[in-house]
Chains A and B, each alone.
Chain A
Amino acid sequence: MNAPLLRVEELCVRYPVREPGLFSRDRLLHAVDKVSFDLAAGETLGIVGETGCGKSSLGKAVLQLVKPAAGRVLWQGRDLAGLSAAELKASRRDLQIVFQDPLSSLDPRQTIGEIVGEPLRVHEPLLTALERARRVDAMLERVGLRSEMARRYPHEFSGGQCQRISIARAMIAGPKLIVCDEPVSSLDVSIQAQICNLLRDLQRETGIALLFISHDLSIVRYMSHRVMVLYLGRVMEAGPRGSLFSAPRHPYTRALISAVPEPDPDAASLSHTASLDGELPSPLDPPGGCVFRTRCPLAVPVCITRSPPAEVDADGHSVGCHRWRDAVTS
């Protein structure tokens, strides 16, 4: 097998958090803790988890928008952290991002044409203004906008249109990977499907890989080939979409899936959802052993003392839980 397009090894992201008080030292918030995965061309890896699980930090660390504290990000076999400034800039052409807030991710003082054309200005500086405008027009048409919109400004567009503009900007220089950080979370239901389908179409046409970050399990299931579940910066479970959703192994994954409100008045009943009580522990002071144990219905003493190792089966379905076999049978 060829080397994967993207390989992430034991990636850690930590943020210093200032403690109140004059002489206290900064504490470290472990946003992402030893996360590893591979991503192949044309593949979508979905990353799910609740607020504060580190999924956005992971996406940004892959693109070196935040500096990883430890671990490696190998892009086509080369460690991004080891590249020179010029090499990193060249790699950025392949690595793009689409953010959650469609309006905030577009510079309000620039026209759509300038925004979408910016990657070309950076990576193909020899292009004439006319050629650049032609490429921008073609890209806008491709994402479902009209080319005359290039002269307008972001505030004149709806959220869904702004997200199309973001996607056009990410796609124009021909990237190989797009990190989609909650790209449809702030959009209306009828627009979410449009944007999801646009990303799926673009993937089919160009074979780009997607790192699809979302808290919405239904959308992740729709978009991804493989899925990774994060909790407090650690991987709880990862595997092919099919087995992860039909036979979830980790109690956290099971709780997440059962908490999704299903649009079916007969199936959906609040009373028999497996409840997950309690609050997310502070990431500044995560529980020892298994981080999920404070909310886990299956927790036993060993969960406090020992952090569960990841168990991987032949299909690449991995789970980090001492009791996952009990969870599946219960």
Chain B
Amino acid sequence: MAALLECRGLDVRFSTDTGTVAAVSGLDFDLAPGECLGIVGESGSGKSQTFLAMFGLLAANGTATGSVKYRGTEILNAPRAVLDELRGNRLAMVFQDALSGLTPTMRVGEQLAEVLVRHQGLSRADARARAIEALEIVRLPDAARRYEAYPFELSGGMRQRVMIAMASLCRPEVLVADECTTALDVTVQAQVLRLLDGMKRKAGTAIVLITHDLGVVAGLCDRVLIMYGGRAVEIGPVRRIFREPAHPYTRALLRSMPSLGADPAVDLPVIPGQPPDLENLPPGCAFAPRCTERFAPCQAERPALQVAAADHRSACHLGRVQ
């Protein structure tokens, strides 16, 4: 099956007062129709910038190079007209901060209806009916009344559901959810994740779930891409990554998370040190300074992604030696 999204050699750079920040470097991945891909990384790993670049939403001092194709059409740095046609229609994005994604002075229902009027040419009345229906699908309580509400009158969970309703209005093929549950409480997070799961199963929407929470990934995703210092360090099926992680960073990340199943009397193994400085990335592996398994080549040479098993690749010198 042909990939929906094909990302090849994506580089994202930001020029700042003090130098150039390498936010994303040489990123390759595919997204198949209807799959859920988890993108996991810490702040500064480049996971959000990857998709902001694809959607043409980089900050003014950012540049993206490489290639991102949607069904064979180049969308990276594409003209606005092309992006406007795709964004919100075929490709949708939901952000962590749902409040800033909604216009504060407009009723939420009208914001939804507006999308339908613009992208699908519906009449006002039809758009209103469809918008209320969409709000009901995301289980916004009392949807018809909430249609008239302003964003500030809704709770964080309700706003996030409105954002998802808005993103799903035009039945997009790809929904990118950028830390969309990070600001929410666990019970509300579970509601939102169930909603995303429903979109995947019922509407066949491909979902990209950007998160730092491996727990969220485990419940929802088919495949996972782990990023560190702007590069992919490991990519593969979710079960395989959790059962047999090939990269030391993935292993350390899994170990360092407190879980409800672990023995709390045992100290958590930690990843020492700090996340990398993207202005001064080391010449070798970005994780080498914090890696407990590093050896000579790690500091000198940057490891490339290599096949660890079918569909499972990892960027570590250790794998090559073994």
A–B contact with Cβ pairs below 8 Å: the answer is yes
Q: Could you tell me which A residues sit within 8 Å of B by CB distance?
A: 50-51, 158-161, 188-194, 196-197, 200, 215-219, 221-223, 241, 245, 255-257, 259-270, 273, 275-280
Q: A256-B187, A277-B191 are in contact. Are A190 and B256 (CB under 8 A)?
A: yes
Q: Render B169-197 as a binary contact track against A, CB cut-off 8 A, 1 for contact.
A: 00000000000000001111111011001
Q: A263-B242, A265-B238 are in contact. Are A275 and B190 (CB under 8 A)?
A: yes
- Interface check B275, CB cutoff 8 A: yes
- How many A-B pairs have beta carbons closer than 8 Å: the answer is 142
Cβ A197 vs Cβ B268 within 8 A:
yes
Q: A158-B274, A264-B242 are in contact. Are A189 and B218 (CB under 8 A)?
A: no
* 13 A-B interface contacts by CB (under 8 A): A161-B274, A188-B43, A188-B212, A189-B42, A189-B214, A218-B259, A221-B258, A257-B260, A259-B186, A263-B214, A265-B218, A266-B239, A269-B219
Known contacts A193-B268, A262-B261, then 10 further A-B pairs from the complex at CB < 8 Å, ordered by chain A residue: A158-B275, A191-B275, A194-B272, A221-B264, A259-B189, A259-B190, A261-B215, A264-B218, A270-B193, A279-B141
How far is A161 from B274 in the complex, measured between Cα atoms in Å?
A: 8
**Number of B interface residues in the complex (CB < 8 A):** 50
Query: Which residues of the other chain, A, contact B197 by a CB distance below 8 angstroms?
Result: 270
B266-308 contacts to A, CB under 8 A, are 267-272, 274-275, 290
How far is A319 from B267 in the complex, measured between Cα atoms in Å?
A: 29
Query: Which residues of the other chain, B, contact A262 by a CB distance below 8 angstroms?
Result: 215, 218-219, 259-261
Query: Which residues of the other chain, A, contact B43 by a CB distance below 8 angstroms?
Result: 159, 188
Query: Which residues of the other chain, B, contact A255 by a CB distance below 8 angstroms?
Result: 187
Cβ A268 vs Cβ B215 within 8 A:
yes
Cβ A219 vs Cβ B155 within 8 A:
no
Cβ B190 vs Cβ A268 within 8 A:
no
Cβ A261 vs Cβ B238 within 8 A:
no
Query: Which residues of the other chain, A, contact B258 by a CB distance below 8 angstroms?
Result: 192-193, 196, 218-219, 221-222
Determine the residue in chain B with the shortest Cβ distance to A276: B187
- Interface check B253, CB cutoff 8 A: yes
Query: Which residues of the other chain, B, contact A50 by a CB distance below 8 angstroms?
Result: 185-188
Cβ A218 vs Cβ B271 within 8 A:
no
How far is A235 from B157 in the complex, measured between Cα atoms in Å?
A: 23
- Interface check B213, CB cutoff 8 A: yes
Q: Give min CB distance, A85 to chain B, whole Å.
A: 38
How far is A327 from B224 in the complex, measured between Cα atoms in Å?
A: 37
Q: Give min CB distance, B149 to chain A, whole Å.
A: 13
Q: Give min CB distance, A220 to chain B, whole Å.
A: 9
- Interface check B220, CB cutoff 8 A: yes
How far is A221 from B262 in the complex, measured between Cα atoms in Å?
A: 10
Determine the residue in chain A with the shortest Cβ distance to B224: A265
Q: Which of A190, A221, A280 contacts B270 (CB 8 A)?
A: A190
Q: Which of A189, A200, A280 contacts B256 (CB 8 A)?
A: A189
Q: Give min CB distance, A250 to chain B, whole Å.
A: 14
Query: Which residues of the other chain, A, contact B220 by a CB distance below 8 angstroms?
Result: 270
Query: Which residues of the other chain, A, contact B139 by a CB distance below 8 angstroms?
Result: 277
How far is A266 from B243 in the complex, measured between Cα atoms in Å?
A: 10
Cβ A200 vs Cβ B267 within 8 A:
yes
Query: Which residues of the other chain, B, contact A264 by a CB distance below 8 angstroms?
Result: 218, 242, 259, 261
B211-263 contacts to A, CB under 8 A, are 212-220, 238-239, 242, 252-254, 256-262
Determine the residue in chain A with the shortest Cβ distance to B212: A189
Query: Which residues of the other chain, B, contact A197 by a CB distance below 8 angstroms?
Result: 267-268, 270
Cβ A280 vs Cβ B155 within 8 A:
yes
Query: Which residues of the other chain, B, contact A245 by a CB distance below 8 angstroms?
Result: 260
Cβ B194 vs Cβ A275 within 8 A:
yes
How far is A12 from B220 in the complex, measured between Cα atoms in Å?
A: 41
Query: Which residues of the other chain, B, contact A275 by a CB distance below 8 angstroms?
Result: 190-191, 194
Q: Ordered nearest first, which 5 A-B pairs have the shortest CB separation?
A: A261-B215, A50-B185, A188-B42, A222-B258, A268-B219
Q: Give min CB distance, A96 to chain B, whole Å.
A: 23
Q: Which of B188, B190, B239, B252 contacts A190 (CB 8 A)?
A: B252
Cβ A221 vs Cβ B260 within 8 A:
yes
Query: Which residues of the other chain, A, contact B141 by a CB distance below 8 angstroms?
Result: 278-279
How far is A13 from B219 in the complex, measured between Cα atoms in Å?
A: 38
Cβ A263 vs Cβ B185 within 8 A:
no
Query: Which residues of the other chain, A, contact B238 by a CB distance below 8 angstroms?
Result: 265
Cβ A51 vs Cβ B242 within 8 A:
no
Q: Give min CB distance, B265 to chain A, whole Å.
A: 10
How far is A219 from B258 in the complex, measured between Cα atoms in Å?
A: 6
Q: Give min CB distance, B158 to chain A, whole Å.
A: 7
Determine the residue in chain B with the shortest Cβ distance to A241: B264
How far is A50 from B157 in the complex, measured between Cα atoms in Å?
A: 12
Query: Which residues of the other chain, A, contact B217 by a CB distance below 8 angstroms?
Result: 263
Query: Which residues of the other chain, A, contact B259 by a CB distance below 8 angstroms?
Result: 218, 262-264
Q: Which of A51, A196, A260, A276 contacts B260 (CB 8 A)?
A: A260
- Interface check B33, CB cutoff 8 A: no
How far is A275 from B194 in the complex, measured between Cα atoms in Å?
A: 10
How far is A69 from B219 in the complex, measured between Cα atoms in Å?
A: 43
Q: A222-B264, A263-B242 are in contact. Are A189 and B257 (CB under 8 A)?
A: yes
Query: Which residues of the other chain, B, contact A193 by a CB distance below 8 angstroms?
Result: 256-258, 268-271
Determine the residue in chain A with the shortest Cβ distance to B264: A222
